[in-house]
Protein backbone atom coordinates (compact mmCIF):
# COMPACT_ATOMS: atom_id res chain seq x y z
CA UNK A 1 0.00 0.00 0.00
CA UNK A 2 1.52 3.32 -1.05
CA UNK A 3 1.72 6.07 1.54
CA UNK A 4 -1.13 8.52 1.91
CA UNK A 5 -1.34 11.91 3.58
CA UNK A 6 -4.71 12.21 5.32
CA UNK A 7 -5.91 15.76 4.68
CA UNK A 8 -8.94 15.54 6.96
CA UNK A 9 -6.77 14.60 9.92
CA UNK A 10 -3.94 17.01 9.15
CA UNK A 11 -5.61 20.17 7.82
CA UNK A 12 -7.45 22.05 10.57
CA UNK A 13 -11.15 22.66 9.92
CA UNK A 14 -11.10 21.06 6.46
CA UNK A 15 -13.49 18.32 7.59
CA UNK A 16 -15.79 20.91 9.12
CA UNK A 17 -15.91 22.87 5.85
CA UNK A 18 -16.46 19.83 3.64
CA UNK A 19 -19.15 18.43 5.95
CA UNK A 20 -21.07 21.69 5.90
CA UNK A 21 -24.23 21.53 3.80
CA UNK A 22 -23.42 25.06 2.62
CA UNK A 23 -20.09 24.16 1.04
CA UNK A 24 -21.20 22.74 -2.33
CA UNK A 25 -24.33 24.86 -3.00
CA UNK A 26 -22.54 28.15 -2.29
CA UNK A 27 -19.80 27.32 -4.80
CA UNK A 28 -22.38 26.08 -7.30
CA UNK A 29 -24.39 29.29 -6.99
CA UNK A 30 -21.26 31.30 -7.80
CA UNK A 31 -20.41 29.19 -10.85
CA UNK A 32 -24.08 29.21 -11.89
CA UNK A 33 -23.99 33.00 -11.94
CA UNK A 34 -20.90 32.98 -14.20
CA UNK A 35 -22.41 30.24 -16.38
CA UNK A 36 -25.65 32.19 -16.79
CA UNK A 37 -23.67 35.30 -17.72
CA UNK A 38 -21.75 33.25 -20.30
CA UNK A 39 -25.01 32.02 -21.86
CA UNK A 40 -26.60 35.49 -21.89
CA UNK A 41 -23.45 37.00 -23.42
CA UNK A 42 -23.44 34.26 -26.04
CA UNK A 43 -27.09 34.78 -26.94
CA UNK A 44 -27.30 38.56 -26.81
CA UNK A 45 -23.72 39.86 -26.95
CA UNK A 46 -21.40 40.63 -29.82
CA UNK A 47 -20.81 37.93 -32.42
CA UNK A 48 -17.05 38.61 -32.24
CA UNK A 49 -15.83 35.63 -30.18
CA UNK A 50 -12.74 37.39 -28.81
CA UNK A 51 -14.95 40.18 -27.41
CA UNK A 52 -17.64 37.92 -25.93
CA UNK A 53 -17.58 36.75 -22.29
CA UNK A 54 -19.27 33.48 -23.28
CA UNK A 55 -16.41 32.44 -25.55
CA UNK A 56 -13.47 33.93 -23.63
CA UNK A 57 -14.48 32.79 -20.14
CA UNK A 58 -15.71 29.34 -21.08
CA UNK A 59 -13.26 28.23 -23.75
CA UNK A 60 -10.14 30.09 -22.62
CA UNK A 61 -10.32 30.85 -18.86
CA UNK A 62 -12.41 27.88 -17.67
CA UNK A 63 -10.74 25.45 -20.03
CA UNK A 64 -7.23 26.57 -19.02
CA UNK A 65 -8.06 26.28 -15.32
CA UNK A 66 -9.69 22.89 -15.79
CA UNK A 67 -7.03 21.17 -17.84
CA UNK A 68 -3.87 22.70 -16.41
CA UNK A 69 -4.76 22.89 -12.70
CA UNK A 70 -8.06 21.40 -11.54
CA UNK A 71 -7.93 18.00 -13.24
CA UNK A 72 -4.18 17.25 -12.87
CA UNK A 73 -4.01 18.31 -9.22
CA UNK A 74 -7.54 18.07 -7.82
CA UNK A 75 -9.15 15.41 -10.01
CA UNK A 76 -12.91 15.81 -10.10
CA UNK A 77 -12.93 19.02 -8.03
CA UNK A 78 -14.66 20.78 -10.93
CA UNK A 79 -17.59 18.34 -10.52
CA UNK A 80 -17.93 19.58 -6.92
CA UNK A 81 -18.73 23.08 -8.13
CA UNK A 82 -20.09 22.50 -11.66
CA UNK A 83 -23.30 24.48 -12.22
CA UNK A 84 -24.68 22.32 -15.04
CA UNK A 85 -26.34 19.57 -12.93
CA UNK A 86 -27.18 21.90 -10.04
CA UNK A 87 -30.72 23.04 -11.02
CA UNK A 88 -31.77 19.47 -11.83
CA UNK A 89 -30.34 18.18 -8.57
CA UNK A 90 -32.05 20.92 -6.56
CA UNK A 91 -35.34 20.05 -8.27
CA UNK A 92 -34.93 16.37 -7.37
CA UNK A 93 -34.12 17.27 -3.80
CA UNK A 94 -36.79 19.98 -3.49
CA UNK A 95 -34.21 22.16 -1.82
CA UNK A 96 -30.74 23.59 -2.15
CA UNK A 97 -29.01 23.45 1.19
CA UNK A 98 -30.77 21.38 3.86
CA UNK A 99 -31.34 17.65 3.44
CA UNK A 100 -35.01 17.37 2.48
CA UNK A 101 -36.69 14.43 4.23
CA UNK A 102 -38.06 11.63 2.05
CA UNK A 103 -37.06 10.31 -1.35
CA UNK A 104 -35.84 12.22 -4.36
CA UNK A 105 -38.69 13.55 -6.51
CA UNK A 106 -38.25 11.87 -9.91
CA UNK A 107 -40.12 9.43 -12.11
CA UNK A 108 -37.84 6.74 -10.65
CA UNK A 109 -37.06 5.14 -14.01
CA UNK A 110 -34.13 2.76 -14.28
CA UNK A 111 -31.15 3.84 -16.39
CA UNK A 112 -30.68 1.17 -19.13
CA UNK A 113 -28.06 -1.39 -18.16
CA UNK A 114 -26.37 -1.25 -21.58
CA UNK A 115 -25.73 2.49 -21.08
CA UNK A 116 -24.04 2.04 -17.71
CA UNK A 117 -20.62 2.87 -19.14
CA UNK A 118 -18.69 5.68 -20.84
CA UNK A 119 -19.79 5.07 -24.44
CA UNK A 120 -22.39 7.87 -24.50
CA UNK A 121 -19.77 10.24 -23.10
CA UNK A 122 -17.26 9.02 -25.68
CA UNK A 123 -19.57 9.69 -28.63
CA UNK A 124 -20.83 12.92 -27.03
CA UNK A 125 -17.28 14.25 -26.79
CA UNK A 126 -16.52 13.22 -30.37
CA UNK A 127 -19.74 14.91 -31.49
CA UNK A 128 -18.80 18.16 -29.76
CA UNK A 129 -15.24 17.86 -31.12
CA UNK A 130 -16.56 17.44 -34.65
CA UNK A 131 -18.28 20.83 -34.39
CA UNK A 132 -15.66 22.36 -32.11
CA UNK A 133 -14.29 24.87 -34.62
CA UNK A 134 -17.66 26.65 -34.63
CA UNK A 135 -18.62 25.95 -31.01
CA UNK A 136 -15.37 27.50 -29.76
CA UNK A 137 -15.60 30.63 -31.88
CA UNK A 138 -19.29 31.51 -32.39
CA UNK A 139 -20.92 32.87 -29.23
CA UNK A 140 -24.52 31.99 -30.13
CA UNK A 141 -23.73 28.38 -30.98
CA UNK A 142 -21.58 28.06 -27.87
CA UNK A 143 -24.44 29.40 -25.72
CA UNK A 144 -26.95 26.96 -27.20
CA UNK A 145 -24.57 24.06 -26.53
CA UNK A 146 -24.15 25.10 -22.87
CA UNK A 147 -27.90 25.60 -22.53
CA UNK A 148 -28.43 22.19 -24.14
CA UNK A 149 -26.16 20.57 -21.54
CA UNK A 150 -28.14 22.14 -18.72
CA UNK A 151 -31.51 21.20 -20.23
CA UNK A 152 -30.35 17.61 -20.70
CA UNK A 153 -29.21 17.51 -17.06
CA UNK A 154 -32.57 18.87 -15.84
CA UNK A 155 -34.62 16.46 -17.98
CA UNK A 156 -32.59 13.46 -16.83
CA UNK A 157 -32.94 14.62 -13.22
CA UNK A 158 -36.70 14.61 -13.60
CA UNK A 159 -36.76 11.07 -15.00
CA UNK A 160 -33.97 9.31 -13.09
CA UNK A 161 -32.73 9.44 -9.50
CA UNK A 162 -29.34 11.00 -8.80
CA UNK A 163 -26.76 12.38 -11.22
CA UNK A 164 -27.30 10.12 -14.19
CA UNK A 165 -26.30 13.01 -16.48
CA UNK A 166 -22.90 13.44 -14.80
CA UNK A 167 -22.20 9.74 -14.49
CA UNK A 168 -23.24 8.50 -17.93
CA UNK A 169 -23.90 11.40 -20.31
CA UNK A 170 -21.83 14.56 -19.77
CA UNK A 171 -19.00 14.61 -22.35
CA UNK A 172 -16.91 16.82 -20.06
CA UNK A 173 -17.51 14.56 -17.06
CA UNK A 174 -16.23 11.60 -19.07
CA UNK A 175 -12.78 12.97 -19.74
CA UNK A 176 -12.50 14.54 -16.27
CA UNK A 177 -13.17 11.06 -14.89
CA UNK A 178 -10.48 9.52 -17.06
CA UNK A 179 -7.82 12.11 -16.30
CA UNK A 180 -8.74 12.38 -12.60
CA UNK A 181 -6.95 9.03 -12.26
CA UNK A 182 -3.76 11.09 -12.53
CA UNK A 183 -4.66 13.40 -9.65
CA UNK A 184 -2.80 13.20 -6.32
CA UNK A 185 -6.11 13.69 -4.45
CA UNK A 186 -8.43 10.81 -3.56
CA UNK A 187 -11.55 10.26 -1.51
CA UNK A 188 -11.65 6.74 -0.06
CA UNK A 189 -12.80 4.80 2.96
CA UNK A 190 -10.27 4.42 5.75
CA UNK A 191 -11.07 0.77 6.34
CA UNK A 192 -12.94 -1.54 3.95
CA UNK A 193 -13.71 -4.01 6.75
CA UNK A 194 -15.69 -1.33 8.60
CA UNK A 195 -17.85 -0.93 5.48
CA UNK A 196 -18.37 -4.67 5.12
CA UNK A 197 -19.58 -4.87 8.70
CA UNK A 198 -21.82 -1.81 8.45
CA UNK A 199 -24.98 -3.23 6.94
CA UNK A 200 -27.02 -0.01 7.06
CA UNK A 201 -24.85 1.54 4.29
CA UNK A 202 -25.88 5.12 5.02
CA UNK A 203 -23.50 6.34 2.30
CA UNK A 204 -25.63 4.55 -0.30
CA UNK A 205 -29.15 5.11 1.04
CA UNK A 206 -28.60 8.44 2.78
CA UNK A 207 -29.70 9.59 6.22
CA UNK A 208 -30.73 12.79 8.01
CA UNK A 209 -27.27 14.29 7.44
CA UNK A 210 -27.12 13.82 3.69
CA UNK A 211 -28.15 12.02 0.52
CA UNK A 212 -27.09 8.60 -0.71
CA UNK A 213 -24.20 8.88 -3.17
CA UNK A 214 -25.56 10.95 -6.09
CA UNK A 215 -22.94 9.39 -8.40
CA UNK A 216 -24.23 5.86 -7.74
CA UNK A 217 -20.96 4.82 -6.13
CA UNK A 218 -20.52 2.56 -3.11
CA UNK A 219 -17.60 4.19 -1.28
CA UNK A 220 -16.69 0.91 0.43
CA UNK A 221 -15.46 -0.41 -2.92
CA UNK A 222 -14.13 2.83 -4.37
CA UNK A 223 -10.69 2.08 -5.83
CA UNK A 224 -10.29 4.86 -8.42
CA UNK A 225 -11.31 8.51 -8.81
CA UNK A 226 -13.09 7.97 -12.14
CA UNK A 227 -16.69 7.99 -10.94
CA UNK A 228 -16.55 9.83 -7.61
CA UNK A 229 -17.80 13.38 -8.13
CA UNK A 230 -16.29 14.67 -4.86
CA UNK A 231 -19.66 15.88 -3.62
CA UNK A 232 -18.77 14.85 -0.02
CA UNK A 233 -22.26 13.54 0.74
CA UNK A 234 -20.71 10.29 2.04
CA UNK A 235 -18.50 12.32 4.36
CA UNK A 236 -21.70 13.76 5.84
CA UNK A 237 -23.67 10.52 6.01
CA UNK A 238 -21.07 7.98 7.17
CA UNK A 239 -21.79 7.37 10.89
CA UNK A 240 -18.51 5.49 11.30
CA UNK A 241 -16.29 8.42 10.31
CA UNK A 242 -14.81 6.09 7.72
CA UNK A 243 -14.42 8.51 4.80
CA UNK A 244 -11.26 10.43 4.22
CA UNK A 245 -9.58 12.67 1.68
CA UNK A 246 -5.90 12.02 1.06
CA UNK A 247 -2.91 13.01 -0.99
CA UNK A 248 -1.24 10.16 -2.82
CA UNK A 249 1.33 9.69 -5.64
CA UNK A 250 0.24 10.98 -9.07
CA UNK A 251 -1.43 8.41 -11.30
CA UNK A 252 -2.03 5.79 -8.59
CA UNK A 253 -5.37 4.74 -10.11
CA UNK A 254 -3.72 3.72 -13.38
CA UNK A 255 -2.32 0.69 -11.62
CA UNK A 256 -5.68 -0.56 -10.31
CA UNK A 257 -5.96 -3.60 -12.56
CA UNK A 258 -9.37 -5.02 -11.74
CA UNK A 259 -11.51 -2.17 -13.07
CA UNK A 260 -10.00 -1.58 -16.53
CA UNK A 261 -12.60 -1.44 -19.31
CA UNK A 262 -12.85 -1.06 -23.08
CA UNK A 263 -15.05 2.07 -22.90
CA UNK A 264 -12.43 3.79 -20.74
CA UNK A 265 -9.65 2.63 -23.07
CA UNK A 266 -11.55 4.19 -25.97
CA UNK A 267 -12.00 7.38 -23.98
CA UNK A 268 -8.17 7.52 -23.81
CA UNK A 269 -7.87 7.05 -27.59
CA UNK A 270 -10.54 9.65 -28.32
CA UNK A 271 -8.95 12.21 -26.00
CA UNK A 272 -5.45 11.71 -27.39
CA UNK A 273 -6.75 11.75 -30.98
CA UNK A 274 -8.79 14.90 -30.38
CA UNK A 275 -5.82 16.67 -28.74
CA UNK A 276 -3.90 16.02 -31.95
CA UNK A 277 -6.82 17.07 -34.16
CA UNK A 278 -7.38 20.31 -32.19
CA UNK A 279 -3.67 21.11 -32.40
CA UNK A 280 -3.72 20.61 -36.17
CA UNK A 281 -6.90 22.63 -36.72
CA UNK A 282 -6.43 25.48 -34.23
CA UNK A 283 -2.64 25.82 -33.99
CA UNK A 284 -1.35 24.29 -37.23
CA UNK A 285 -0.34 26.24 -40.35
CA UNK A 286 -2.89 24.56 -42.66
CA UNK A 287 -5.62 27.09 -43.39
CA UNK A 288 -7.57 24.66 -45.59
CA UNK A 289 -8.16 22.17 -42.77
CA UNK A 290 -9.31 25.03 -40.52
CA UNK A 291 -11.79 25.99 -43.25
CA UNK A 292 -13.03 22.40 -43.50
CA UNK A 293 -13.57 22.21 -39.71
CA UNK A 294 -15.30 25.60 -39.85
CA UNK A 295 -17.95 24.09 -42.16
CA UNK A 296 -16.90 26.15 -45.16
CA UNK A 297 -18.84 23.63 -47.24
CA UNK A 298 -20.83 20.64 -45.98
CA UNK A 299 -18.83 18.34 -48.25
CA UNK A 300 -15.45 19.39 -46.86
CA UNK A 301 -16.73 19.39 -43.28
CA UNK A 302 -18.04 15.85 -43.90
CA UNK A 303 -14.54 14.80 -45.00
CA UNK A 304 -13.09 16.38 -41.87
CA UNK A 305 -15.67 14.65 -39.63
CA UNK A 306 -15.07 11.24 -41.24
CA UNK A 307 -11.31 11.77 -40.90
CA UNK A 308 -11.60 12.69 -37.21
CA UNK A 309 -13.85 9.73 -36.34
CA UNK A 310 -11.75 7.25 -38.34
CA UNK A 311 -8.55 8.54 -36.77
CA UNK A 312 -9.76 8.37 -33.17
CA UNK A 313 -11.91 5.24 -33.37
CA UNK A 314 -10.06 3.09 -35.91
CA UNK A 315 -6.54 4.21 -36.84
CA UNK A 316 -5.19 5.12 -33.39
CA UNK A 317 -6.69 2.05 -31.60
CA UNK A 318 -5.58 -0.10 -34.57
CA UNK A 319 -1.97 1.04 -34.28
CA UNK A 320 -2.10 0.57 -30.52
CA UNK A 321 -3.57 -2.92 -30.99
CA UNK A 322 -0.50 -3.77 -33.12
CA UNK A 323 1.84 -2.35 -30.44
CA UNK A 324 0.13 -4.37 -27.69
CA UNK A 325 0.12 -7.52 -29.86
CA UNK A 326 3.85 -7.06 -30.45
CA UNK A 327 4.39 -6.57 -26.71
CA UNK A 328 2.56 -9.84 -26.03
CA UNK A 329 4.50 -11.67 -28.72
CA UNK A 330 8.04 -10.53 -27.89
CA UNK A 331 7.57 -10.95 -24.13
CA UNK A 332 5.51 -14.13 -24.42
CA UNK A 333 2.86 -12.75 -22.08
CA UNK A 334 0.07 -15.15 -21.14
CA UNK A 335 -2.80 -12.65 -20.70
CA UNK A 336 -5.22 -12.44 -23.62
CA UNK A 337 -4.63 -9.89 -26.38
CA UNK A 338 -7.87 -8.08 -25.43
CA UNK A 339 -6.84 -7.76 -21.78
CA UNK A 340 -3.41 -6.41 -22.72
CA UNK A 341 -4.85 -3.96 -25.25
CA UNK A 342 -7.17 -2.51 -22.60
CA UNK A 343 -4.55 -2.53 -19.83
CA UNK A 344 -1.85 -0.81 -21.88
CA UNK A 345 -4.36 1.81 -23.10
CA UNK A 346 -4.14 3.37 -19.63
CA UNK A 347 -0.60 4.50 -20.51
CA UNK A 348 -2.35 7.01 -22.80
CA UNK A 349 -3.84 8.78 -19.79
CA UNK A 350 -0.67 10.65 -18.69
CA UNK A 351 0.37 11.27 -22.28
CA UNK A 352 -3.10 12.47 -23.29
CA UNK A 353 -3.32 14.80 -20.30
CA UNK A 354 0.13 16.20 -21.12
CA UNK A 355 -0.93 16.67 -24.74
CA UNK A 356 -4.04 18.62 -23.70
CA UNK A 357 -2.00 20.77 -21.31
CA UNK A 358 0.55 21.48 -24.05
CA UNK A 359 -2.19 22.32 -26.54
CA UNK A 360 -3.96 24.55 -24.03
CA UNK A 361 -0.76 26.43 -23.17
CA UNK A 362 -0.43 27.27 -26.86
CA UNK A 363 -3.74 29.07 -27.21
CA UNK A 364 -4.19 30.26 -23.62
CA UNK A 365 -0.90 32.16 -23.52
CA UNK A 366 -1.70 33.62 -26.92
CA UNK A 367 -5.31 34.58 -26.24
CA UNK A 368 -5.54 34.87 -22.44
CA UNK A 369 -5.31 38.67 -22.51
CA UNK A 370 -8.79 38.84 -24.05
CA UNK A 371 -10.14 37.95 -20.59
CA UNK A 372 -9.07 41.32 -19.16
CA UNK A 373 -11.07 43.21 -21.77
CA UNK A 374 -14.25 41.11 -21.67
CA UNK A 375 -14.50 41.20 -17.88
CA UNK A 376 -15.23 44.92 -18.26
CA UNK A 377 -17.42 44.53 -21.32
CA UNK A 378 -18.91 41.00 -21.25
CA UNK A 379 -21.43 41.57 -24.02
CA UNK A 380 -19.17 43.67 -26.25
CA UNK A 381 -21.61 46.57 -25.95
CA UNK A 382 -19.01 49.21 -25.19
CA UNK A 383 -19.18 48.99 -21.36
CA UNK A 384 -16.09 49.54 -19.23
CA UNK A 385 -17.09 48.19 -15.80
CA UNK A 386 -13.61 47.79 -14.32
CA UNK A 387 -11.63 50.12 -16.60
CA UNK A 388 -9.97 47.24 -18.49
CA UNK A 389 -12.10 47.19 -21.65
CA UNK A 390 -9.46 48.86 -23.79
CA UNK A 391 -6.55 46.61 -22.86
CA UNK A 392 -5.30 45.39 -26.23
CA UNK A 393 -4.69 41.78 -27.20
CA UNK A 394 -1.26 40.91 -25.81
CA UNK A 395 0.08 37.43 -26.57
CA UNK A 396 2.21 36.19 -23.69
CA UNK A 397 5.45 34.23 -23.65
CA UNK A 398 5.68 33.66 -27.40
CA UNK A 399 9.31 32.56 -27.08
CA UNK A 400 8.58 30.40 -24.03
CA UNK A 401 5.54 28.51 -25.27
CA UNK A 402 7.44 25.94 -27.35
CA UNK A 403 9.75 25.14 -24.43
CA UNK A 404 6.85 24.77 -22.02
CA UNK A 405 5.00 22.51 -24.42
CA UNK A 406 8.11 20.40 -24.97
CA UNK A 407 8.70 20.10 -21.21
CA UNK A 408 5.10 19.08 -20.49
CA UNK A 409 5.08 16.51 -23.29
CA UNK A 410 8.40 14.97 -22.22
CA UNK A 411 7.21 14.68 -18.61
CA UNK A 412 3.97 13.07 -19.88
CA UNK A 413 5.94 10.64 -22.06
CA UNK A 414 8.30 9.59 -19.26
CA UNK A 415 5.39 9.13 -16.87
CA UNK A 416 3.52 7.08 -19.48
CA UNK A 417 6.53 4.84 -20.12
CA UNK A 418 6.91 4.26 -16.40
CA UNK A 419 3.21 3.28 -16.19
CA UNK A 420 3.69 1.03 -19.24
CA UNK A 421 6.44 -0.85 -17.41
CA UNK A 422 4.38 -1.21 -14.26
CA UNK A 423 1.33 -2.45 -16.19
CA UNK A 424 3.59 -4.84 -18.13
CA UNK A 425 4.90 -6.06 -14.77
CA UNK A 426 1.33 -6.92 -13.72
CA UNK A 427 1.17 -9.27 -16.71
CA UNK A 428 4.70 -10.69 -16.46
CA UNK A 429 6.41 -13.01 -14.05
CA UNK A 430 9.82 -11.31 -14.35
CA UNK A 431 11.22 -7.79 -14.62
CA UNK A 432 13.00 -8.61 -17.87
CA UNK A 433 9.81 -9.91 -19.50
CA UNK A 434 8.01 -6.71 -18.46
CA UNK A 435 10.84 -4.58 -19.84
CA UNK A 436 10.69 -6.31 -23.22
CA UNK A 437 6.88 -6.00 -23.30
CA UNK A 438 7.13 -2.32 -22.52
CA UNK A 439 9.29 -1.54 -25.57
CA UNK A 440 6.59 -1.61 -28.31
CA UNK A 441 4.22 0.41 -26.10
CA UNK A 442 6.95 2.94 -25.32
CA UNK A 443 7.68 3.21 -29.07
CA UNK A 444 4.02 4.04 -29.74
CA UNK A 445 4.03 6.64 -26.96
CA UNK A 446 7.29 8.16 -28.26
CA UNK A 447 5.89 8.29 -31.80
CA UNK A 448 2.81 10.19 -30.60
CA UNK A 449 4.95 12.59 -28.56
CA UNK A 450 7.21 13.19 -31.54
CA UNK A 451 4.16 14.01 -33.70
CA UNK A 452 2.96 16.60 -31.15
CA UNK A 453 6.46 18.11 -30.89
CA UNK A 454 6.73 18.41 -34.69
CA UNK A 455 3.40 20.25 -34.68
CA UNK A 456 4.27 22.65 -31.88
CA UNK A 457 7.90 23.33 -32.79
CA UNK A 458 7.29 23.46 -36.55
S1 LIG B 1 -21.69 4.49 5.69
FE2 LIG B 1 -19.48 4.62 6.08
S3 LIG B 1 -18.91 2.68 7.05
FE4 LIG B 1 -20.95 2.43 6.20
S5 LIG B 1 -20.59 1.47 4.22
FE6 LIG B 1 -20.69 3.68 3.86
S7 LIG B 1 -18.59 4.46 4.02
FE8 LIG B 1 -18.64 2.38 4.87
S1 LIG C 1 -18.35 8.54 -3.23
FE2 LIG C 1 -18.90 10.16 -1.78
S3 LIG C 1 -17.89 12.02 -2.57
FE4 LIG C 1 -17.86 10.47 -4.19
S5 LIG C 1 -19.65 10.97 -5.41
FE6 LIG C 1 -20.28 9.40 -3.90
S7 LIG C 1 -21.07 10.52 -2.15
FE8 LIG C 1 -19.96 11.97 -3.43
- Mean pLDDT, to the nearest integer, of 5-9? 97
Q: Are 105 and 94 in contact (CB under 8 A)?
A: yes
pTM for the whole structure: 0.96
Distance CA 155, CA 172 (A): 18
The contacts of residue 79 (CB under 8 Å, 6+ apart) are: 166, 173, 176, 229, 230, 231
Cβ–ligand 1 contact at 240 (below 6 Å): yes
Cα within 13 Å of Cα(48), Cβ side: 11
CB 261 within 8 A of CB 236: no
| Closest residue by CA, ligand 1 atom 2 | 238
Q: Which ligand does the CA of 195 lie closest to?
A: 1
pLDDT band (50, 70, 90) for residue 2: low
Percent of the chain whose predicted confidence (pLDDT) is above 70: 100
Average pLDDT, the chain: 96
Atom of ligand 2 nearest to the CA of 227: 5
Could you read off the pLDDT of 232-281 as tens digits, one per residue?
A: 999 999 999 999 999 999 999 999 999 999 999 999 999 999 999 999 99
Least confident among 52-66, 277-291, 404-418: 277-291
Does ligand 1 have an atom closer than 6 angstroms to the CB of 209?
Answer: no
Mean pLDDT of 346-364: 95
**Host H or E run for residue 318:** helix 316-331
81 touches ligand 1 (CB under 6 Å): no
Say how many Å lie between the CA of residue 221 and the centre of ligand 1.
Answer: 10
CA dihedral 266, 272, 276, 279 (to 10 degrees): 120
Amino acid sequence: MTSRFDLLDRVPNLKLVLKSRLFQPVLQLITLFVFTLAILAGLFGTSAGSRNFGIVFVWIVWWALLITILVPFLGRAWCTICPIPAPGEWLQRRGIIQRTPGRLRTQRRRWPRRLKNMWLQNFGFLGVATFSAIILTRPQISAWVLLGFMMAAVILSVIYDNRVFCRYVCPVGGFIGLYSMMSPLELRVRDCKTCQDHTAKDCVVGNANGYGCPWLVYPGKLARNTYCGLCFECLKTCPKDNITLSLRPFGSDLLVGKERRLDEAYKAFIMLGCALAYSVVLLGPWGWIKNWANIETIFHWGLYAIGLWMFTLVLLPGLFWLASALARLVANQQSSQGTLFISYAYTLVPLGLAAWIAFSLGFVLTNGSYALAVISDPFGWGWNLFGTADIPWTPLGASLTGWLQTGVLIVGLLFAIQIAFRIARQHSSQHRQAFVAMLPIASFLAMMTFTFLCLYLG
